[in-house]
Each structure stands twice: as C-alpha cells, then as structure tokens.
Amino acid sequence: MADSLKLSDIAEELQGVATDGKDHIFEEVYGLGENEADAENGIVAMADYAAELDTPNEVVLTKIYASGALQPGGIKLASGKVFNPVNDSLGVKPRKAKVEPIAMNFLLTQEKLEILKKSYLSSVRKNSIANDVLPFADYIFNAIMSEAKEELRTAYFQGIHNAEGTSHLAIFDGWRKQILDAIISEDIPTGNVIETAVISSTNAVAEFAKIVESVPTKMLGKVVCLIPRALKTKYENDFLTRYGSASFNTGIKKSVIAGTSIPFLVESGLDGFTRPIITTRNNFVRLYDSASSKTDLTIDYDKRERNIAIVMDAQAGCGFADGSHIWTNFTA
C-alpha cells in the first residue's frame, strides 16, 4: 500500500463504504454491547435486559394487567347468565416513548487524515491490521462507530434532552431522568421506593435486602439489578467481610443479590448514580431508527478546503413500559 495521501481517493473509498455499508454501520452503532459484553464483570449486552424497537416515530408502551381473573364457575345468576365480569378486571397502563434526532458530524482535515494514514500503515506493517481485511476507509468508520456506540449506551442512562445542546448527553432523556421523574409523579409507586441508609461497604448487604423485600415473590425470577460499578464493589466488600473469602464468595464471583437469583448488571451509564435499579427484563425499552428517510450517511469532499466531512443523521430514544415493575431506594 502506498504511503501517499490523495484526498479524492479517500473520499471515494469512504463514499463506497457509506453507500454499500450504510445498513451495517447503523446496525453496529445500534447493536449496543453485543461485542463488548463482559460477563465476568457483570457487563452484558443491553439486549439481555432491555427490549428493542426499530421505529421512526413515537410508540405506545402499553402494559396490560389483569386482576380478579378467576372466580367460581357453574353458578347461574338470577338473570340466568354465567358471564359475570368483574369491573376493571382487565386494564392497560399506556406510556409513550419516542425517538429524537441525532447528528454525527466529523470533519477530517488533510492534516488529520495524514496522521490517521500513518497510524494505519504502521499497524499494517506490524501485522496488527490486514489491509485487505480492513481497508483504510473501514479503519476510519470503525473508530467512529466505536465512539458512537459508547456515547449512545451512556446516553440511554444519563441523557437529559436539550435540542440546543452539543453533547451526546443532550440527545434524549435517559432512564435515570425518567425514573427520577416517575418517582416524583408516582408513576413508580411509593411502595417501590424504599428508604435505606446511604449504601456503603459496611451495610450494603442489609440495605439491598430492604429493597428486595419490596419485590413480590412471584417477580424474583423475572428481575435484574442494574447497578454502577462502585455500588457493586461496596456490596462485594460488605459481603466478603460478612461471609469470608472462600473461592465461591470472592467479590468477582458475587454476581447475584444474596439469597436470590437476581443478577447484578453493571452499566457505566449509572456511574455516579447512588441508587440500584431493580426491574423486570424487557421493561426498559430502547428505540432506534435504522431504515427511515431520517437515517442518512453522507460523505462531503471539499476540494478547496482540502477536507472531507462525514455527516450522519440518526434517531434514538428510550422509555420503560411499567413503573410498578421498577424498585429502587431513597435516603432521608
């Protein structure tokens, strides 16, 4: 491969990837965690606990619930009818979620491209990259996709929507904000928000047990515990102090809340958040748009300014279906 840098050739190569590989690029960005899962440390693909909807619009996340489904049969009423429905025995709890527009704008100046090309060629010469397997244009797109995936996964938790913002944390409201808002509105019932002491390395086991007590027995096998790494470490330290350091009790192997099968799932987007979140699988929903006209990828080569712009438009968002299936804590 020649060391020379010709912008028009690079622009043509990038355009070829953008044209032929657009669907793959967006699938990679939206496919959060599938290749980054680290089960040993409690990090899983988001698809392991969150439902996924590919949609260009607003969606209604309707939770159907039934109460009083069963009653004695074979008894005729005075009217002679055996159909005796209980009022409100079947109901719905509709919640809405929608995608928000996302812009990804990258300007590759000739200077930046020369640095990238040198780094790429150095890797090729060291045989850490095979140029016939990973051409230079794919090398650039891989770097963009890697950063976009990391930022999107963080935004699903930490985002606070601000259409005038310039950060990935402004693209839509993430689950942290939605949960705090739902606690205030009581969309998450007050009985699901348990008062605890500030969780520390000396009380975490007992304080987590208080939260778990509020989860109905029938739900214990259906829920997960989303948690920041720091809070999991506090739990592990307290657990080891209480129960010793036998090999099966070492912190790295403590993957569930003691006395339950509820798994700890570590999310970097919860870093700095002091509340564990227990919720049913697929109650959290992440939205993305991979195919509508609002999803686009364009390469713009400016000969006069000697730069190449990569312009990507996408849509994403998130929500949850049922606030009564979320349990957490608060401290007085």
pLDDT tens-digit profile of 132-156? 778 899 999 988 988 899 999 999 9
CA dist., res. 238 & res. 251, Å (int): 9
Do the domain assignments include residue 305? yes
pLDDT band at 82 (very low <50, low <70, confident <90, very high): low
State the chain's mean pLDDT as an integer.
87
Range of the domain at 204: 7-57+96-330
State residue 1's pLDDT score. Answer: 46
- Whether the pLDDT of residue 271 is over 80: the answer is yes
State residue 296's pLDDT score. Answer: 92
Q: What percent of the chain has pLDDT over 70?
A: 85
Contact 18, 298 (CB under 8 A): yes
Residues 236-254: b if buried by 16+ CB within 10 A, e if exposed: bbbbbeeeeeeeeeeeeeb
Do the domain assignments include residue 141? yes
**Based on the structure, what is the number of domains in the chain?**
1
Do the domain assignments include residue 106? yes
Do the domain assignments include residue 105? yes
Instruction: For residue 217, give the DSSP letter.
Output: G
Phi and psi angles of residue 287, each rounded to the nearest 5 degrees, phi first:
-110, 145
Name the token pair of 278: 């227990």
Phi and psi angles of residue 114, each rounded to the nearest 5 degrees, phi first:
-65, -40
Do the domain assignments include residue 273? yes
CA dist., res. 240 & res. 234, Å (int): 10
Do the domain assignments include residue 71? no
Residue showing tokens 């045989």: 127
CA dist., res. 175 & res. 158, Å (int): 7
Angle between helices 229-243 and 204-213 (to 10 degrees): 110
Do the domain assignments include residue 76? no
End-to-end CA distance of the chain: 65
Report if pTM > 0.95.
Answer: no
pLDDT band at 168 (very low <50, low <70, confident <90, very high): very high
Q: Which residue has the higher pLDDT, 81 or 56?
A: 56
Contact 91, 295 (CB under 8 A): no
Contact 269, 157 (CB under 8 A): yes
Do the domain assignments include residue 81? no
Q: What percent of the chain has pLDDT over 90?
A: 59
Contact 316, 55 (CB under 8 A): no
Instruction: For residue 263, give the DSSP letter.
Output: B
The tens digit of pLDDT for each residue in 174-215 reads 999 999 999 999 999 999 999 999 999 999 999 999 999 999
